[in-house]
Amino acid sequence: MTVASPSNLYSDLDVHAELDVSLAKHTWFGIGGSADLLIHPQSIEALATLARRCRRDGIPLRVLGSGANLLVDDEGVDGVVVKLDAPAFKAVEFNASGLLERMRVFGGAQMEQLVQECARRGLRGIEQMAGIPASLGGAIRMNAGGKFGAIGDAVDAVAVIGLDGEMRVYSREELHFGYRETNLPAGIVAWASLRVSADDPVACRTRVKEYFAYKKSTQPMSASSAGCMFRNPTLANGSRESAGKLIDLAGLKGTRVGCAYVSSEHGNFIAVDDKAAAAGTARTADVRALVELIQETVESKHGVRIETEVVFWRRGERP
């Protein structure tokens, strides 16, 4: 469904709306088509009303975070894309409810900045997110993390604006955080309460530097990619295997399809040729074709099907 600036959808709301906006500049891949309608809500109330109206009118609603885990189709996406980049959604309330061991972080806050600010303040609890690009909402939705832990380790409660426009708060006891998954219902993460504890600021900064250095030494962080493309699969014996290792053993490092290639540093990273991206000739279709080639080859050689961790947006598909 194409949205043609329906006045009854957002004109009376506190939002900033843009029509036919290229999403390439909003993703780490730097490729992909346009959003029919990109809306920047300025308040939680405006976001809730917008969600309610989209549901009423049967309009797809997608949330654009930092774009670090997203691949947009060359033909773009229909419906409404929401970006939580207004000050109301980037706020951080330290010592929430007067408690030192809590802070409230809103859905559009960037994890990189939050990690650094917590270290500066001597607050321990989220340093495991060092070097992981994401908005708070996106990180929670997929329980982002790595070798040193995941965001779910620190979550105390999450407030979600449902597709019906109603906000509900889910306590730690109601939440389940697994490997790159959570049981949160469909909707938009408005804010989360995170558990932290006081620590020596120097020790906090040292841990953050160590975690970031490890990530930098093991992953091609300067490449135009979305980080790890595939989830680590669970084998028949119940153990979890590294997708990057399976790709490497399949001899796929360096494999190229058009503008897309498998990193020679880390098999689970698909990157886009910077020159092609700069020239405007890079295509999402090349990345998708390479993904399918990798999946087929790994399954053929190892008998394991690896699934994507990166989110794909395509016109006509429901989010």
Q: How far is CA 310 from the centre of its chain?
A: 8
What is the Cα 32 distance to its own chain's centre? 16
The single residue of 180, 205, 207, 314 carrying the catalytic annotation is: 180
CA distance 278 to 63: 26
Tell me whether residue 53 is one of the annotated catalytic residues.
Answer: no
Q: Scanning the structure block, which residue is given the tokens 């300067």?
A: 222
Active site residue 180: yes
Residue 204: active-site member: no
Please report, to the nearest 10 degrees, the dihedral formed by the alpha carbons of residues 22, 27, 31, 32 taken in order. -50
For residue 126, CA distances in Å to 111, 178, 194, 245 come to: 9, 17, 8, 27
Using the 8-state DSSP alphabet, how is residue 246 labeled?
Answer: H
- How far apart are the C-alpha atoms of 53 and 182, rounded to whole Å? 26
* Residues 253/271, Cβ–Cβ less than 8 Å: no
Cα 112 to Cα 306: distance, rounded to the nearest angstrom: 28
State the residue for tokens 């074709």: 289
Q: Which amino acid is at 49?
A: T
Helix and strand numbers (H, E) in the chain are 9, 21
* Residue among 228, 231, 283, 288 flagged as catalytic: 228
* Active site (catalytic) residues: 180, 228, 309
